[in-house]
Chains A and B, each alone.
Chain A
């Protein structure tokens, strides 16, 4: 007889409470850490403490001076060490960071930068298509020219991409847009078909 009372207590009281607690905790955690899951705020330490705030902000170097392929190709490309040495052969050679850089360059080794923005393999994103439609780098990557150490601002989820595709951007003085369509309001809308990104 005692067996039944215990079982009753477990089933009718303890189990529902436990389940409720688990569900609430899980949901809160899941949505609460969404930015962490998606990587927003991720700011890893880089092998060389390169400062975008100094180069892109204070010195106003154009993004495309270093990220050279962004208008031509799908990839923006991380600059080769050679590009850094264009200036740093002479500039600030006394600083430890520059010494580190020069060391990499002279050894012929690639600098192992920590990657911030990465899409899954089944997504074929094209920087060129976006840049040539007049979309500024900071729209997705955030105010990079204010970042001492680069921090990820973009969730890079499909929903986030499609939101912008559906919102549209102002058409720049450009006669053609690749996948995009020009709406009646003159704005350019990104493609919504699967094959535009998934192939």
Chain B
């Protein structure tokens, strides 16, 4: 049969298509579905000579050959045991070591979990008195840095700002020792803050060996202004430590005590201890007075927005109200104070700056004063470390007036082993460098090119220096601006010690032999000194022996220990810390004259200009760990933005300037300008922009380079070198945009459908203490009693459940950080986060409620609820997810075919799908590198593309605990083990355990009057109980 060629009919969906088909612009693709050339008959002369029959025969023959070669089907490979088993390694069981963190200068204690000699997890050391088993996100994530391919494998020359030829250590040693010997020009040794007593001794020895060397130390974030204020208030001494557990009221002035201020692990723990639901009437109160939105502000019972420029007058107004109006004065001399503070009373303050809302503001501030007075002697006013010194002086005065100095600890003090270098010394150094008077600069594990204020002109000054050597783990900006870069050990390969408080000495020990041809940085300095005197150079043991000798000679005698040094040393290494009591000089009384010194001389009201507030990156801090994918992807606790920093500003300021989220702005200050995308942050005060430092690195490794913006161009140079509040900036739009990726909707408040959805669906149920005391069934009456068609399963034996106390949760995100490490969670990259494909198994949901300018913020960790009536389990076509007899929702990855029906059905959206391997995408396959396999937790499957994953309640830890208990002949007891999130939470907000054990904490919390479950009206019967947050507001 022949087919007649029919006339084709063209259908078009719209005018533009019509034009395309019938008009002059005739695109061949529309009429001809095949590309040019494809629909033509093949050219037979171009075919190969093999016929089809020959080809099939060949395939069958090779197939047969291949099949016969498969003889050893049952071959299971080899099993290779130790030749000599190291006595501390038990295959299958972890071995733990204590160490000390060096990711910042707080030197918290670490507990490192190793499996068969590989470190796989870092947690806080429970025996360390400061952090007590908790560690920040950098502490958790820095283990990635040990196995990074971007680590330097050997010394390198730097040629034209890039890594040049490799060099041997002998070459390096020879060159540098030669330069130190011959060159009598000045040498600068630049480091971050030195917190290690032994490192300090090494540097001092180095300085003695080479007198032309001067040591310079800097930190991008420090307490210098607060210490300065203290000296002015008390004449001597250091700012005291606070008795956090005994504090009833905290008034935090631009101080993120729950997030980044000071030892926040300690302050968060102390403040959480005062918020236990067993003693609701004794809840402490947190008042935040700040311009930018911080974690503390989000969690505060009362939050007042105040521009940083007004903080000084605010504190003066508080002092006036407390002493003159309320007649509370712990130091005496009220008439003098009244005279000094004339015109700085609360009413005048409000009239001057809040002319539209005088009465509201007066009411608010009077309540703050009321709190201060009620809790005098048991409260504290805390000024953030970024505020200028006069505010700290005023705050010290206020605390003294209120007798809050009783909260200062009298048995322990902070110590500063080596003072940070003053700005004037830095300026002198730069001048000397520019005058070619500096022969050599040694960057001792520091990155001043990236971290010093750009206005200093450090990078350009380096060009005039003859020899610049950088000791670092991987490339950084300072290395690239120099001549040599020398690899040093990662923390987990290093010996060391630290002292940040009187009487507390912590130790760091290596848990793995050096993976690269790197050296201990203190050992390098020691070796150079030895080589200069013709003695043998570097050895791994030298610094360890030096450290041990230092402890034996200098520290051990202080302890008056009852054992000999060797036992003392072993115990200190085992515990990670040695503690002794040290008498502390009493604080004394405040200088009454200090108040007058800080009252402004000018009587003009403060002009509020657009101001820039620079802050440390929540997780990245000063950017040292910018190459860490986990840290880059951890959503910012306030804005939930990943992989970027931004200029945060208030809704009103953005509206005034016509700025939308993601608009690329140019922010100009006296010292320079930066281009940075805008982010509209509810709750910020107007005329204020906040930018986080720590991003925008240009030489950090494949993950961290080019991510975000480097804002240090805006840092001014003042005493003591850093200042973080810059007044008088200008903000301009460039017209371009830089989309910011946030794991939470940008427009969380704008949409009228989403507006307050968390309140309508009762996802967040909150109250105040007063309302709860009046109506104890405040939360209980909101519970849903649902009934189903099927009989409930009778859970005998263990029934695992979790409770999250929202009174204690600060939204810090450390649970997410720990879970990522424990469960081998992949980094997905910015573009995938944009598609909602971030893989974190636990996330912190943040909800705003109320007025967008001054919202109430609630945070809620959300993870798999392990529902007893799980909607995900019934829809899996392959039964990959089932419910265990102990209440756990199990996930069998090998059965999953990737239907994603379970994720679709999950009302909490906690099921994550591996759309890709992800490791093959981020940083061009950076995480595919074999070295990262060493980091994986061997007890948790590493998921590949195409399977769903979700929180397992750390089933690997549950099983291990059960096996250990069984081996010991008993049941699992409450507290035998913790899930990773529970272990990481600094405020102990997460409780996990066996709900069938009547004595366990979880059994009590599940039945608590304040407990509720999210979306329980769906009759999914979740096993996570949330304890409702009660705000301690003085105004109900």
**Which parts of A138-165 form the interface with B (CB within 8 Å)?**
152
A110 at the interface (CB under 8 A from B): yes
Say yes or no: B963 contacts A126, CB within 8 Å: yes
Docked CA distance A118–B75 (Å): 10
B78 at the interface (CB under 8 A from A): yes
The one of B77, B81, B952 in contact with A77, judged by C-beta atoms closer than 8 angstroms, is B81
Q: How far is the CB of B952 from chain A (nearest CB, A)?
A: 6
B888 at the interface (CB under 8 A from A): yes
A132 at the interface (CB under 8 A from B): yes
Q: How far is the CB of B77 from chain A (nearest CB, A)?
A: 5
Docked CA distance A120–B893 (Å): 13
Interface string of B877-920 (1 = CB under 8 A from A): 00000111110101111100000000000000000000000000
* CB-based nearest A residue for B796: A181
* CB-based nearest A residue for B883: A193
The 3 A-B residue pairs whose C-beta atoms are closest, nearest first, are A73-B92, A195-B890, A193-B884
Q: 16 more A-B contacts (CB under 8 A) besides A74-B963, A191-B885, A193-B882?
A: A37-B73, A69-B90, A69-B91, A69-B93, A72-B90, A78-B81, A105-B83, A112-B78, A113-B78, A114-B76, A114-B78, A115-B76, A132-B967, A178-B965, A193-B885, A194-B882
Chain B residues with CB under 8 A of A192 = 885
The one of A69, A80, A111, A133 in contact with B84, judged by C-beta atoms closer than 8 angstroms, is A80
Tell which of B629-637, B659-667, B752-760, B954-962 binds the partner: B954-962
Q: How far is the CB of B206 from chain A (nearest CB, A)?
A: 38
* CB-based nearest B residue for A192: B885
With contacts A80-B84, A193-B884, A198-B890 taken as known, whether A128 is within 8 angstroms of B74 at the C-beta atoms is no
Say yes or no: B941 contacts A196, CB within 8 Å: no
* CB-based nearest B residue for A42: B74
* CB-based nearest A residue for B93: A73
Docked CA distance A132–B941 (Å): 25
Docked CA distance A23–B967 (Å): 51
Q: How far is the CB of A26 from chain B (nearest CB, A)?
A: 14
Q: Give 14 CB contacts A-B under 8 Å.
A: A44-B75, A72-B92, A74-B92, A78-B79, A78-B81, A81-B82, A115-B79, A129-B962, A132-B963, A175-B971, A195-B890, A199-B939, A199-B952, A199-B956
User: Which residue of B90, B93, B888, B966 has the most chain A CB atoms within 10 A of its CB atom?
Assistant: B966
* CB-based nearest B residue for A127: B92
Give the A-binding residues of B (Cβ under 8 A): 73-85, 90-93, 796-797, 882-886, 888, 890-894, 939-941, 952, 955-956, 959, 962-963, 965-967, 969-971
Q: How far is the CB of B209 from chain A (nearest CB, A)?
A: 40
Docked CA distance A67–B588 (Å): 66
A185 at the interface (CB under 8 A from B): no
* CB-based nearest B residue for A77: B91
Chain A residues with CB under 8 A of B93 = 69, 72-73
Chain B residues with CB under 8 A of A126 = 959, 963
A8 at the interface (CB under 8 A from B): no
Say yes or no: A175 contacts B83, CB within 8 Å: no
Say yes or no: B882 contacts A174, CB within 8 Å: no
Say yes or no: B956 contacts A111, CB within 8 Å: no
Chain B residues with CB under 8 A of A105 = 83
User: Which residue of B92, B891, B939, B941 has the most chain A CB atoms within 10 A of its CB atom?
Assistant: B92
A62 at the interface (CB under 8 A from B): no
User: Which residue of A74, A109, A177, A178 has the most chain B CB atoms within 10 A of its CB atom?
Assistant: A178
Chain A residues with CB under 8 A of B970 = 175-176
Say yes or no: A199 contacts B941, CB within 8 Å: yes
With contacts A152-B74, A196-B884 taken as known, whether A113 is within 8 angstroms of B80 at the C-beta atoms is yes
Say yes or no: B890 contacts A194, CB within 8 Å: yes
Say yes or no: B940 contacts A79, CB within 8 Å: no
* CB-based nearest A residue for B886: A193
With contacts A116-B76, A175-B969, A181-B796 taken as known, whether A193 is within 8 angstroms of B81 at the C-beta atoms is no
Q: How far is the CB of A32 from chain B (nearest CB, A)?
A: 14
Say yes or no: A82 contacts B84, CB within 8 Å: yes
Docked CA distance A36–B75 (Å): 11
Chain B residues with CB under 8 A of A175 = 969-971
The one of A81, A114, A115, A118 in contact with B83, judged by C-beta atoms closer than 8 angstroms, is A81
* CB-based nearest B residue for A152: B74
Docked CA distance A104–B83 (Å): 8
Chain A residues with CB under 8 A of B82 = 80-82, 110
Chain B residues with CB under 8 A of A198 = 890, 892-894
A179 at the interface (CB under 8 A from B): yes
Chain A residues with CB under 8 A of B965 = 176, 178
Q: How far is the CB of B963 from chain A (nearest CB, A)?
A: 5
Chain B residues with CB under 8 A of A81 = 81-84
Docked CA distance A122–B888 (Å): 18
Say yes or no: A178 contacts B796, CB within 8 Å: no
Say yes or no: A178 contacts B77, CB within 8 Å: no
With contacts A178-B965, A178-B966 taken as known, whether A118 is within 8 angstroms of B884 at the C-beta atoms is no
Docked CA distance A114–B76 (Å): 7
With contacts A81-B82, A176-B971, A195-B955 taken as known, whether A73 is within 8 angstroms of B90 at the C-beta atoms is yes
Chain B residues with CB under 8 A of A124 = 939, 956, 959
With contacts A193-B890, A194-B882 taken as known, whether A174 is within 8 angstroms of B92 at the C-beta atoms is no
* CB-based nearest A residue for B894: A122
With contacts A73-B93, A80-B82 taken as known, whether A132 is within 8 angstroms of B966 at the C-beta atoms is yes
User: Which residue of A81, A117, A196 has the most chain B CB atoms within 10 A of its CB atom?
Assistant: A196
The one of A112, A122, A128, A194 in contact with B941, judged by C-beta atoms closer than 8 angstroms, is A122
Chain B residues with CB under 8 A of A42 = 74-76
A121 at the interface (CB under 8 A from B): yes
Docked CA distance A71–B952 (Å): 26
With contacts A181-B796, A195-B888 taken as known, whether A108 is within 8 angstroms of B962 at the C-beta atoms is no
Docked CA distance A121–B77 (Å): 14
Chain A residues with CB under 8 A of B888 = 193, 195
* CB-based nearest B residue for A33: B73
Say yes or no: A195 contacts B84, CB within 8 Å: no
A39 at the interface (CB under 8 A from B): yes
The one of B81, B893, B941 in contact with A80, judged by C-beta atoms closer than 8 angstroms, is B81
A187 at the interface (CB under 8 A from B): no
**Which parts of A92-115 form the interface with B (CB within 8 Å)?**
104-105, 108-115
Interface string of A53-90 (1 = CB under 8 A from B): 00000000000000001011111011111100000000
Chain A residues with CB under 8 A of B74 = 36-39, 42, 152
Q: How far is the CB of B821 from chain A (nearest CB, A)?
A: 17
Q: How far is the CB of A199 from chain B (nearest CB, A)?
A: 5
The one of A73, A74, A111, A129 in contact with B81, judged by C-beta atoms closer than 8 angstroms, is A111
* CB-based nearest B residue for A120: B894
Chain B residues with CB under 8 A of A116 = 76
The one of B75, B959, B969 in contact with A176, judged by C-beta atoms closer than 8 angstroms, is B969
Chain A residues with CB under 8 A of B886 = 193
